[in-house]
Amino acid sequence: MRLPPAILANAEEVLREILRFAAPADTTLSRYFKDHPRLGGRERGAIAESVYNVLRNKNFYTDFSEAGGGATMRRLTLLGMADAVGLEALGGVSEEEAEWVTRIMGIDRALMHKSSRSNMPKWLFEKLVEQMGEEETLALADAMNQPAPLDLRVNTLKANREEVIAKLAEAPIRATPTPFAPQGLRVLQKPQLQNLPLFKDGHIEVQDEGSQILSAIVAPKRGEMVVDFCAGAGGKTLSLGAIMRNTGRLYAFDVSEKRLAKLKPRMARSGLSNVHPVVIAHERDAKIKRLAGKIDRVLVDAPCSGLGTLRRNPDVKWRQKPEAIGEMQIKQAAILAGAARLVKGGGRLVYATCSVLDDENEFIAKQFLEGHPDFELVPMSKALAEQKIELDMGDYLKLLPHKHQTDGFFAAVFERKQMPKKAKEAEEVEAADDE
């Protein structure tokens, strides 16, 4: 069954707005669909996928859309839509347009100039080539330009992986265990999960395998005091709570009340009662200082460029600016230093980003160690072995889509040395004075 011709016009309209890059693509799409309630599920899916195809392949599509007759935006939309649903499913396409689309889709991209083939802005391509070499950058770019699979985390408070696989099969949804995360499942199609009893009852949560691995290396134990320092909507908070078996005390800090509000219904589904969401003003908030030197484990999933998530958010590479990376570094260093004050002697601090840039990753980790001699690096190989996760890593966790089929993630694990009694007392006095 063909899509009606009007869908191309809808896709072109929303694409034009998204390519202004004034807001995240998913936000613009959500608003557009809200303003056009008559669009059905199939039409919305086709429009969204066509937009993401254009964002992933912007350099390649633009090069050819600007050549020849016809409006550039119409041609961009045709390429994105044909890639999403197939040319034969499109209504309102002329014979000339169909021939042009078929010809463009048949081009061997391996023959193109490398920076064009990468479909990255020039500054990002050059930075990654400098960091990891041209061959590795192109392999990464090829993987980033593919849609991500759907990863789920099984909530072990309510079910185990085998039970969930069997229940999903009844839907029918085929899921397979993720290779590294012990409670992860990978679904290759994109089913509607919201209406599944498994989802409604909190047996599963959507969470990339890489994100699940981050929670595992925090390694919280039952009864401990744990902080998720930049909790956001709480995906990692929920996985930490499940690892803790709903014991101890788990703080979810974030500067955004709106983001933390999204955590509350997820907490209710999950069955967790040990989570305490706390809105903070900044990394030196008095609410944080009261806990100085008292926390067993702290996770800092720091604000970053987001350049590890391009499979899901391809607009990020076009919206992100090189000068913003330096601004991010200042914020990342400040947040990590603020979070470090919470950690007790012998406690663990994990710094993580969803970026693939060394500037936001190793640079920040090494800078932190230089300025905090009371912390030492725990080699990632050791942290992973403790959790029986078979990943070949050195000092740091570096997950990449073309190697590990996850989003791009970085993590460093630090441990605070046991503090002499006098130093501990002095820190507690300082925290009290700051209040």
- Per-residue pLDDT tens for 163-211? 999 999 999 999 999 999 999 999 988 888 988 999 999 999 999 999 9
Query: Considering the domain boundaries, does residue 432 fall inside one?
Result: no
Q: What is the DSSP letter of 360?
A: G
Query: Considering the domain boundaries, does residue 366 fall inside one?
Result: yes
> Can you name the residues that pair with 275 across neighbouring β-strands?
250
Binned at pLDDT 50, 70 and 90, residue 116 comes out as confident
Statement to judge: residues 237 and 257 lie in one domain = yes
Statement to judge: residues 356 and 394 lie in one domain = yes
- Per-residue pLDDT tens for 4-43? 999 999 999 999 999 999 999 999 999 999 999 999 999 9
Domain that holds residue 60: 5-107
Query: Considering the domain boundaries, does residue 306 fall inside one?
Result: yes
d(CA 335, CA 283): 5
Domain tally, the chain: 3
Q: Is 254 marked as binding a ligand?
A: yes
Residue 412: phi and psi, rounded to 5, are -130, 140
Residue 209: phi and psi, rounded to 5, are -60, -35
Statement to judge: residues 324 and 391 lie in one domain = yes
- Which of 151, 162, 150, 264 lies closest to 214, judged by CA? 151
Statement to judge: residues 352 and 253 lie in one domain = yes
CB 154 within 8 A of CB 185: yes
Please return the burial class of 190, using the count of CB atoms within 10 Å of its CB with bins 0-12, 13-18 and 19+: exposed
The pair of three-digit structure tokens given for residue 214, joined into one six-digit string: 């981050």
Statement to judge: residues 246 and 372 lie in one domain = yes
Strands 343-353 and 295-301: parallel
The pair of three-digit structure tokens given for residue 28, joined into one six-digit string: 């613009």
CB 376 within 8 A of CB 367: no
Q: Is 434 marked as binding a ligand?
A: no
Statement to judge: residues 380 and 266 lie in one domain = yes
d(CA 203, CA 236): 15
Query: Considering the domain boundaries, does residue 154 fall inside one?
Result: yes
The answer to whether the peptide bond before residue 172 is cis (omega within 30 degrees of 0) is yes
Query: Considering the domain boundaries, does residue 139 fall inside one?
Result: no
**Run of H or E residues at 254:** strand 249-254
Q: Which pLDDT belongs to residue 433?
A: 55
| Rg of the chain over all Cα atoms, to the nearest angstrom | 23
CB 364 within 8 A of CB 372: no
Query: Considering the domain boundaries, does residue 280 fall inside one?
Result: yes
Percent of the chain beyond pLDDT 70? 95
- Which of 227, 216, 376 lies closest to 294, judged by CA? 227
- Out of 104, 354, 357, 380, pick the active-site residue: 354
DSSP 279-346: E-SSTT-HHHHTTTT-EEEEEEE-----TT-TTT-TTHHHH--HHHHHHHHHHHHHHHHHHHTTEEEE
d(CA 432, CA 46): 57
d(CA 306, CA 317): 9
Statement to judge: residues 219 and 241 lie in one domain = yes
Q: What is the DSSP letter of 87?
A: G
CB 273 within 8 A of CB 246: yes
- Per-residue pLDDT tens for 203-240? 999 999 999 999 999 999 999 999 999 999 899 999 99
Mean pLDDT of 104-120: 86
- Which of 202, 204, 221 lies closest to 271, judged by CA? 202
The count of residues in the chain is 435
Mean pLDDT score of the chain, rounded to an integer? Answer: 93
- Per-residue pLDDT tens for 290-345? 999 999 999 999 999 999 999 999 999 999 999 999 999 999 999 999 999 999 99
Domain boundary among 183, 206, 229: 206
Statement to judge: residues 184 and 217 lie in one domain = no
Who has greater pLDDT, 384 or 69?
384
- Which of 368, 361, 377 lies closest to 341, judged by CA? 368
Statement to judge: residues 396 and 277 lie in one domain = yes
Domain boundary among 107, 132, 161: 107
Which are the contacts of 144, defined by CB distance < 8 A and separation ≥ 6? 56, 310, 311, 314, 401, 408
Residue type, 11: A
> Residues 198-208, buried b or exposed e (16+ Cβ, 10 A)?
bbeebbbbebb
The pair of three-digit structure tokens given for residue 245, joined into one six-digit string: 């078996």
Query: Considering the domain boundaries, does residue 73 fall inside one?
Result: yes
Statement to judge: residues 397 and 281 lie in one domain = yes
Query: Considering the domain boundaries, does residue 137 fall inside one?
Result: no
- Per-residue pLDDT tens for 336-392? 999 999 999 999 999 999 999 999 999 999 999 999 999 999 999 999 999 999 999
Statement to judge: residues 322 and 335 lie in one domain = yes
pLDDT above 90: residue 70: no
Residue 313's domain is classified under what CATH number?
Answer: 3.40.50.150
Tell me if residue 304 is catalytic.
no
User: Edge-to-edge strands of the sheet including 184-187?
Assistant: 175-177, 184-187, 150-154, 204-206
Mean pLDDT of 89-108: 90
Strands 184-187 and 275-279: unpaired
Statement to judge: residues 189 and 234 lie in one domain = no
Q: Which pLDDT belongs to residue 409?
A: 98
